[in-house]
Structure 1
Amino acid sequence: MRGNDPKQQALFSYISPEARVPKDHPLRPIRIMVDNALQDLAPLFKKMYSHTGRPSIPPEQLLRASLLQVLYTIRSERMLVEQLDYNLLFRWFVGLSLEDKVWDHSTFSKNRDRLIEHEVATAFFQAIKGRAERAGLLSKEHFTVDGTLIEAWASMKSFRPKDDQDPPAPGSRNPEVDFKGQKRKNETHQSTTDPDCRLLRKSQGKESKLCFMGHALMENRNGLVVDSRLTEANGTAEWHAALEMIENLPGTNRVTVGADKGYDVPVFVDGLRERLATPHVARKDKGTAIDGRTTRHEGYRVSQKIRKRVEEIFGWLKTVGCLRKTRYRGLDRVGWIFEFSMTAYNLVRMRNLIWAV
């Protein structure tokens, strides 16, 4: 018997978004961890807002929505709001019912400065990290450090001399610029779109780009990020940021720190030894600062094998987390989304470690 094709939809629905989400959906364990972490941040949220006036959109919902944007590679807040309007899974994760009205996309921009000012991304990262530590997922002795370039939201045309006061040629919002043969350096030039980014190339033979530099400190047991930061891009930023992250590690026990050949320089190796850290750094073919007292141990070879996992973190951030080219401008905003994306990576990794069958 052929079924009917009704043209009129039902007026009422008695099924909640919770019932629509499968019990084994991968977002369910992430939602549990996020809710517990946000509950820990309730005192911070209370300080962020006035006790009088019109109620705001809950910061918990904004953070859950931003987390969805990272996890599902949604390239803009406009598209995210559109998805929240009709996607039952997204409504359930954020905490919206079917009847709740979705806020405007400008809400994210208006609240971002407030979240940056109160360092919410750092507090959220530490809350998730604390859950990983209580679950016994973190190593306290063996770590790996690495850095990557995050391309800035600025074109090479915007990289102009600092003392150039001449406005661009009229007639087009994207005028022709010929900088062939010019020497363009960070000392004399600056981007008019994002003054915080710097011109840098990854290695010999690679093109120069306007970018920032992101750093990550990974523990070697399960490949979780225990610290991260974003800095200006320059030739020594990797070493100094890595030493700063190592110095902030809790405890006084000696640790090992793995790294690639880019960290095989005296300033970094000696800095690790001053901080009671054993440098398990890959050796250069010439001019190495690593000697036999380190490489003779079996632990050195183990660190060299595990340290490559840190590339998986940056690979995830750039493919899934939309950080191959940042959508924001300024060191503070890019640093905020960089640390927030690191938290998203840890959540995915912890879900696989804790709830994997």
Structure 2
Amino acid sequence: MMGERTVSQESLFYSFNLERHVPADHLLRSIDRFVDLSDLREQLRPFYSETGRPSIDPELMLRMLIIGYCMGIRSERRLCEEVHVNLAYRWFCRLGLEGDVPNHSTFSKNRHGRFRDSDLLRRLFETTVARCIAEKLVGGEGFAVDASLIRADASRQHVVDHAGQLPPASASHAVREYLAVLDDAAFGGATPVPPKQLAVADPAARWTAASRDRAFFAYSTNYLIDLDHAVIVDVEATTAIRQAEVTAQRRMIERAHTRFGLWPERLAADTGYGDARNLSWLVEERGIEPHIPVFDKSARRDGSFERADFVFDHDDDSYVCPAGKRLRQRRKHYREALPFVDAEGMTRYRASKLDCDACALKPRCCPNAPARKILRSIHEGARDMARDIATTDAYVASRRQRKKVEMLFAHLKRILNLRRLRLRGPNGAKDEFLLAATAQNLRKLAKLIPMPAMAGAR
């Protein structure tokens, strides 16, 4: 006999326990253990008025943002719709069945005001780092650093050639933020070379062709991670050029030490961080072993002698060429003393023209010059140390472990769906990168630390 659903009048009372309808192995249930917002209201209290209508609960908005970034929901409008219908999302947000979901415009108003003024998202991220440290997931001995390009919310077609054609600062938040960071070493002040073109919608975004795709406007997200469990120790938003990424690396190392007392013994990175100044900063100022390939352009392809073929004599402060002759910094006496070091931090060692003219190796040494000249950086000691480290087994292990940061970037773009920014301006990029790094650390905690019931079952 075929059954038929009976249509009855709605009950006046329901007995519904939301806790029972969230699966025990749901990701948000595991993440909820590590979300501590107990002091949130005290942090934001100075930014709210004592009178007037009660605002939307800031904890509710933060929990919704955590859901959005953990689950790869990029649109805040869609996030509000998902929280409205999803029981697990309602449970995580402490809404119950009848709680009202705020309007999506509320996020924008708080983001441009209270959240940024109080630096709330930075504090939220650092809370997850502190929890990772408390759970013994951060060793603190080896760090890795890298950067990845994230497309900006800017069109290739709407560009101007120089800042004089930008709309007035009152036109948008992005233009005001661009003008505010012109001297910042992580954005406008990263290089004295002005950009060839600016995006009207987001002038702080940098036009870049660093990837295999067509050139596009982008920001860089910079990660400093611990090599033990790939926990993100710090994150920084910069313009998409190498000089800014080196600046971000220094800021993150110093901030990790100030906030958490972390001071790594070694730092793994790619060649972009291997310039002489940065290696000197790591070795001489911070005492960190650079497990970094040295950025060196002294190699030659014409078969002539390279700089590596010349031996440096530290005691005599000179180079010895393959023929046994010495190259010194200065062979003449001038009325006015000339500086030994140029603006780029390089010193020049020159051979005697008489020695080179009589040398049988001159065709292989300096065929197109009267005498051989060698450039040496004032930071060459740090470069030599990096070269020596590159021959060790520890360096090989660090190079292998450094791939963890690249895996985090792949997770960021493919799983969390952060291939393109929704927010504009440097502050918008900071907000998105902080929330994404927070979500990745929370997911890491949920993965590595099992639920108490699951731990007991094992």
TM range (shorter): 0.7 to 0.9
Amino acid corresponding to residue 347 of structure 1 in structure 2: L
- Given candidates 419, 423, 443, the residue that maps to 1:328 is 423
Work out whether residues 41 and 124 of structure 1, in 8 Å CA contact, stay in contact via their aligned partners in 2.
no
Following TM superposition, by how much is the alpha carbon of 1:295 offset from its aligned partner in structure 2, in angstroms? 2.1
Following TM superposition, by how much is the alpha carbon of 1:51 offset from its aligned partner in structure 2, in angstroms? 3.0
Q: Show the counterpart of 1:189.
A: 197
- Given candidates 256, 259, 268, the residue that maps to 2:278 is 268
Q: How far apart are the structure 2 equivalents of 1:257 and 1:165?
A: 41
Q: Show the counterpart of 2:379.
A: none
Q: Show the counterpart of 1:244.
A: 251
Work out whether residues 154 and 217 of structure 2, in 8 Å CA contact, stay in contact via their aligned partners in 1.
yes
- 2:316 equivalent to 1:309: no
- 1:288-308 Cα offsets, whole Å, 9 max, x none, are 946443123332222111110
Matches within 5 A, 1:201-350: 201-202=209-210, 206-250=213-257, 251=261, 255-273=265-283, 274-282=285-293, 287=298, 289=383, 291-350=386-445
- 1:27-63 Cα offsets, whole Å, 9 max, x none, are 11211211xx211434213333223322111111101
SS at match of 1:248: helix
Following TM superposition, by how much is the alpha carbon of 1:108 offset from its aligned partner in structure 2, in angstroms? 0.9
Work out whether residues 143 and 257 of structure 1, in 8 Å CA contact, stay in contact via their aligned partners in 2.
yes
The two structures have a TM-score, normalised by structure 1, of 0.87
- 1:163-193 Cα offsets, whole Å, 9 max, x none, are 4489xxxxxxxxxxxxxxxxxx953532111
Amino acid corresponding to residue 200 of structure 2 in structure 1: T
Following TM superposition, by how much is the alpha carbon of 1:206 offset from its aligned partner in structure 2, in angstroms? 4.9
Distance 1:208 1:186, change over 3 A: farther
Amino acid corresponding to residue 147 of structure 2 in structure 1: G
Distance 1:186 1:292, change over 3 A: closer
Following TM superposition, by how much is the alpha carbon of 1:286 offset from its aligned partner in structure 2, in angstroms? 5.5
Amino acid corresponding to residue 108 of structure 2 in structure 1: S
SS at match of 1:230: strand
Max radius of gyration: which structure?
A: 2
- 1:270-302 Cα offsets, whole Å, 9 max, x none, are 221121111111456865946443123332222
Q: How far apart are the structure 1 equivalents of 2:9 and 2:418?
A: 41
Distance 1:188 1:146, change over 3 A: closer
Q: How far apart are the structure 2 equivalents of 1:271 and 1:98?
A: 56
Q: Show the counterpart of 2:133.
A: 133
Distance 1:303 1:58, change over 3 A: same
Amino acid corresponding to residue 149 of structure 2 in structure 1: L
Q: How far apart are the structure 2 equivalents of 1:6 and 1:70?
A: 42
Number of aligned residue pairs: 336
- 2:51 equivalent to 1:15: no
- 1:112-132 Cα offsets, whole Å, 9 max, x none, are 122111111110011111111
Work out whether residues 195 and 206 of structure 2, in 8 Å CA contact, stay in contact via their aligned partners in 1.
no
Q: How far apart are the structure 2 equivalents of 1:320 and 1:5?
A: 41
Work out whether residues 186 and 199 of structure 1, in 8 Å CA contact, stay in contact via their aligned partners in 2.
no
Work out whether residues 85 and 102 of structure 1, in 8 Å CA contact, stay in contact via their aligned partners in 2.
yes
Q: Show the counterpart of 2:56.
A: 57
Q: How far apart are the structure 2 equivalents of 1:212 and 1:306?
A: 25
Distance 1:333 1:221, change over 3 A: same
Q: Show the counterpart of 1:85.
A: 84
* Bigger mean CA deviation after superposition, 316-325 or 279-288: 279-288
- 1:253-286 Cα offsets, whole Å, 9 max, x none, are 5620001222222122222112111111145686
Q: How far apart are the structure 2 equivalents of 1:50 and 1:262?
A: 48
Following TM superposition, by how much is the alpha carbon of 1:200 offset from its aligned partner in structure 2, in angstroms? 1.3
Distance 1:254 1:120, change over 3 A: closer
Distance 1:196 1:297, change over 3 A: same
Amino acid corresponding to residue 57 of structure 1 in structure 2: I
* Bigger mean CA deviation after superposition, 283-292 or 113-122: 283-292
SS at match of 2:111: helix
SS at match of 1:157: coil
Q: How far apart are the structure 2 equivalents of 1:127 and 1:149?
A: 26
Following TM superposition, by how much is the alpha carbon of 1:231 offset from its aligned partner in structure 2, in angstroms? 1.2
* Bigger mean CA deviation after superposition, 137-146 or 288-297: 288-297
Following TM superposition, by how much is the alpha carbon of 1:215 offset from its aligned partner in structure 2, in angstroms? 0.4
Q: Show the counterpart of 1:30.
A: 31
* Bigger mean CA deviation after superposition, 69-78 or 4-13: 4-13
Q: How far apart are the structure 2 equivalents of 1:48 and 1:355?
A: 37
Work out whether residues 275 and 294 of structure 2, in 8 Å CA contact, stay in contact via their aligned partners in 1.
no
The two structures have a TM-score, normalised by structure 2, of 0.69
SS at match of 1:279: strand
Work out whether residues 199 and 208 of structure 1, in 8 Å CA contact, stay in contact via their aligned partners in 2.
yes
Q: Show the counterpart of 2:116.
A: 116
* Bigger mean CA deviation after superposition, 141-150 or 100-109: 100-109
* Bigger mean CA deviation after superposition, 341-350 or 157-166: 157-166
Following TM superposition, by how much is the alpha carbon of 1:202 offset from its aligned partner in structure 2, in angstroms? 1.5
Amino acid corresponding to residue 267 of structure 2 in structure 1: V
Query: Structure 2: where are the runs of 5+ without partners?
Result: 168-192, 300-382
Q: Show the counterpart of 1:169.
A: none
Following TM superposition, by how much is the alpha carbon of 1:75 offset from its aligned partner in structure 2, in angstroms? 2.5
SS at match of 2:247: helix
- 1:116-169 Cα offsets, whole Å, 9 max, x none, are 111111100111111111111112111000001111001111121234489xxx
Q: How far apart are the structure 2 equivalents of 1:140 and 1:261?
A: 23
Q: How far apart are the structure 2 equivalents of 1:254 and 1:123?
A: 22
Amino acid corresponding to residue 289 of structure 2 in structure 1: T
Q: How far apart are the structure 2 equivalents of 1:282 and 1:20?
A: 53
Q: How far apart are the structure 2 equivalents of 1:194 and 1:253?
A: 36
Distance 1:202 1:188, change over 3 A: closer
Following TM superposition, by how much is the alpha carbon of 1:234 offset from its aligned partner in structure 2, in angstroms? 2.2
Work out whether residues 142 and 264 of structure 2, in 8 Å CA contact, stay in contact via their aligned partners in 1.
no
